[in-house]
Structures are given as C-alpha cells and as structure tokens.
Amino acid sequence: MPASTTHKRGDRAQHLAEALRFSIVSGELSPGVPLRQEELARRYETSRIPVREALRLLQAQGLVHLEPNKGAVVAPLDAAELRENTEMREAAEVLALRTALPHLSNAQIDEAAAIQDEIEASDVSEYGRLNKSFHMTLYGPCDRPRLLEHIAGLHDIAERYLGVALSQLDYVSRSSSEHRGILDACYARDAEAAITLTSRHILDAGRSLEQFLVRS
C-alpha cells in the first residue's frame, strides 16, 4: 500500500477519534452506548478501517471499551478509575512542577496566567482543553518529555470526569481560585507553596467528584 494512502487513512482515523472524543467527553455519547463501526462509517462518510483505528485510539485513552463478540461501547464512569487517575496525576504533576520550578520564567508564568484568563472568559465546553494547557505550561520547563506525555494522557482521561464536575459541582470558580493561588506561589518563587497547592488542587477535586459518583 502506498505510504500516502496509509498516511491519509491515519489522518482520517485521528480526526474521527477527535470528533468521537468530543462527543464522549461532552456527554453527547453516554456511558454504555454502542459504537457500531458501520453506523460510524456512514455518519462520518468513511470506511470501516479508520473507524476501527479511531476506536483503538479511544480505547487507549480509556474512553472506549472494546468487548469481545460485542464490539465497542462508550466506557462507563468508574469511581475506581477516577481514584487511580487522581493518585497518578498528583504523583506525576508534583514531580513535574518540582522539577520545573527552578527553570520556570516569569514569561512562562505569564503564559499560564493568560490561559487562566481565557478559562474565566470561555464557555465551560473549553475548560478541559484550557485546564490541561494551564498545567502543562507550568510543567514544561521540567524537561522530562516522557513524564509530560504521561501527564497529558492522564488529563485526557480526567477530562471526561471533569465534565461531570463542571455540570454538577460548580467547579470552575473553585478551580480558578486555586489556579490563581498556584500562579501567585510561582511568581513568588515559593516552591513548597506551589507544590502543596497543586497537590491539594488535584486531590480535593478528585475526592469531591469520586464522592459524587458513589452517591449517584
């Protein structure tokens, strides 16, 4: 098969995965909904091959379950998965911030502050993307590409749960206040305060949402 054909098919799969991911994270596609390859191919006017590849990408992100003899379904919201994700995020992001802080410039903190301004001015549908960008901007100077890739993947999984927090727990104002505190500590070069606030920010949000899921 020509390389150009393979590349185009990969692009189609990536675009399709992004479209489906948005539908899952936004709640348009509910947990447990079947994702039939034939229907998706018709809907997105493509063949089943990029659909199958897109579903595998989403499976790797924890958004889709591929069940033997049943096909693909939207993954359920699971309190245990959320707890594990929260614990992994806290450990990885504290390490990234601790390593980044000695190299973090005012210009980079300004960039994160500008993203926070955008969070406060944007629709909640943009929160997940911007929240990830805020944190990754502060962690960037850690110069640990595999660690950053790991954190980015955890944020992708967490975004779906954040969608519930945004709609049910009035989370944006609380999160924004906590982000401002982290920024102030970074500007002040108070490493321990920045690390403590980041740890608390991640863990408290995870616990609140886990409690909500267990009650629901």
CATH code, 135: 1.20.120.530
Q: Which domain holds residue 63?
A: 3-74
One digit per residue, the tens of pLDDT, for the chain of length 216 reads 444 444 455 688 999 999 998 888 877 888 889 999 999 999 999 999 999 999 999 998 888 998 877 789 998 888 999 999 999 999 999 999 999 999 999 999 999 999 999 999 998 878 888 999 999 999 999 999 999 999 998 998 888 888 766 767 778 889 999 999 999 999 999 999 999 999 999 999 999 888 888 887
Instruction: Based on the fold, state whether residues 92 and 175 are members of the same structural domain.
Output: yes
Which pair of tokens denotes residue 53?
């590849």
**Ramachandran angles phi, psi of 7, nearest 5°:** -65, -45
Sign of the C-alpha dihedral computed for residues 148, 150, 151 and 152 taken in this order: positive
Instruction: Based on the fold, state whether residues 91 and 24 are members of the same structural domain.
Output: no
Tens of pLDDT, residues 152-165: 989 988 888 887 66
In whole angstroms, what is the distance from residue 58 CA to residue 14 CA? Answer: 10
Query: Please, which residues bridge with residue 35 across strands?
Result: 72
Instruction: Based on the fold, state whether residues 89 and 68 are members of the same structural domain.
Output: no
CB 93 within 8 A of CB 144: no
Instruction: Based on the fold, state whether residues 91 and 144 are members of the same structural domain.
Output: yes
Instruction: Based on the fold, state whether residues 169 and 117 are members of the same structural domain.
Output: yes
Number of structural domains in the chain: 2
Instruction: Based on the fold, state whether residues 18 and 41 are members of the same structural domain.
Output: yes
Instruction: Based on the fold, state whether residues 154 and 51 are members of the same structural domain.
Output: no
